[in-house]
Amino acid sequence: MTIKNHLTTTDHNRDVVGLKYIYPVISRRAGGVSVGINLNVNNACNWRCVYCNVPNLTRGTPPPIELDVLAQELRTFLNDVLHGDFMQRYVSEEDRQLKDIAFSGNGEPTSAKEFPQVLAVVEDILRDFDLLGKIKVRLITNGSLMDKPGMLDNMRHLAKLNGEVWFKVDAGSKAGIARVNDVTLNPESHLQRLLNCAATCPTFIQTCMFGFDGSPPSETDIADYLALVKQAKDVILGVHLYGLARRSEQVEVDRLSRLPAEWLEQVAQRMRNEDMTVYVSA
């Protein structure tokens, strides 16, 4: 049976259910339905990754979060997923499994001032639906604010919710980070933020690799990256290494290309040789 408007791993349409903060996706990395929470409804982020598929991306932080609206949307949507016909309407049969609540969306979620209150809202609702501890609560983050003591308190709270952090590390040198994420960042400082985060909540590294101007990352780029992530191998759960799945909405779009799965697997194997767990999504 063909499902109208069905969701796929390559279609993360935030508007499919017409809500402000809540949206569903089929996550290839989570392996099923992920209930997304988009706090950056103004498409603002403090980074600008060249592969980002958010249209009209701007620099900045989100507007104030309407906590009552977010709570009502999450309750209504979870009820439809668990007790309604959402799965039948939008999801292919093989993907009809609720896997997580995921803070992701159209910018850096931890930049919302109300992030601590949002965590409390999510905890209450999961408890009411008897989901607390039974599904993951994932934070997909660039990690840029993980040097703030208050943010680490948030990560401790997230850990109590069966939480997990997917922390962005796309390159291992200052030049590589500037090229991919369009920010000026010291790799060792970012490593320290990663170590801070992993000490407070179970953490994966998430890495996007792709071709740029027709060429894959150079051996120098790969060596810099491997040297950086190796320093965290004893505290992280592993690495999610992935390629381009959706079209970038940034000005560099025509310069980017998808790498073969075999190429990504070769990089993954080099990390596995260092006793790191690596999952590849080409």
Distance CA 113, CA 102 (A): 18
CATH number for 132: 3.20.20.70
Q: Name the helix (H) or strand (E) containing 59.
A: strand 58-59
Confidence (pLDDT) at 9: 45
User: Which residues does 40 contact at the CB level (< 8 Å), separation at least 6?
Assistant: 61, 62, 105, 106, 107, 108, 109, 111, 112
**Nearest to residue 60, comparing CAs of 85, 43, 84?**
43
Given this model, what pLDDT does residue 28 score?
A: 59
End-to-end CA distance of the chain: 27
Q: What single-letter amino acid sits at 51?
A: Y
Beta strands in 149-247 (DSSP E): 163-168, 203-208, 211-212, 238-242
Q: Can you tell me the distance from the alpha carbon of 183 to that of 238, in angstroms, rounded to the nearest whole number?
A: 24
Q: Of the ranges 14-23, 109-118, 126-135, 215-224, which one carries the lowest mean pLDDT score?
A: 14-23
Is 2 a member of any domain? Answer: no
On whether residue 207 sits in a domain, the answer given is yes
User: Which comes out higher in pLDDT, residue 71 or 104?
Assistant: 71
For the chain, the residue count is 282
- Calpha distance 4→247 (Å, rounded): 22
pLDDT value at 276 more than 70: yes
Contact 72, 58 (CB under 8 A): no
Q: Is residue 5 part of a domain?
A: no
Total count of domains within the chain: 1
* Tens digit of each residue's pLDDT (9 = 90 or more) over 141-194: 999 999 988 999 999 999 999 999 999 999 999 999 999 999 999 999 999 999
11 part of a folded domain: no
CA dist., res. 85 & res. 64, Å (int): 32
Number of Cβ within a 10 Å radius of residue 175: 13
227: domain range?
Answer: 22-280
The single-letter code of the amino acid at 99 is K
Report angle CA 155, 159, 162 to the nearest 5 degrees.
140
**Contact predicate 42/62, CB 8 Å:** yes
Question: 131 or 92: which carries more pLDDT confidence?
Answer: 131
> What is the three-class DSSP state of 269?
helix
Range in 202-206, 235-239, 242-246, 253-257 with the lowest mean pLDDT: 242-246
Residue 132 lies in a domain: yes
Q: What is the pLDDT of residues 20-45, one digit of tens each?
A: 999 988 765 556 888 999 999 999 99
Cβ neighbors of 238 (< 8 A, separation 6 or more) are 204, 205, 276, 277, 278, 279
Contact 123, 133 (CB under 8 A): no
Assess contact for 50 and 252: CB atoms under 8 A: yes
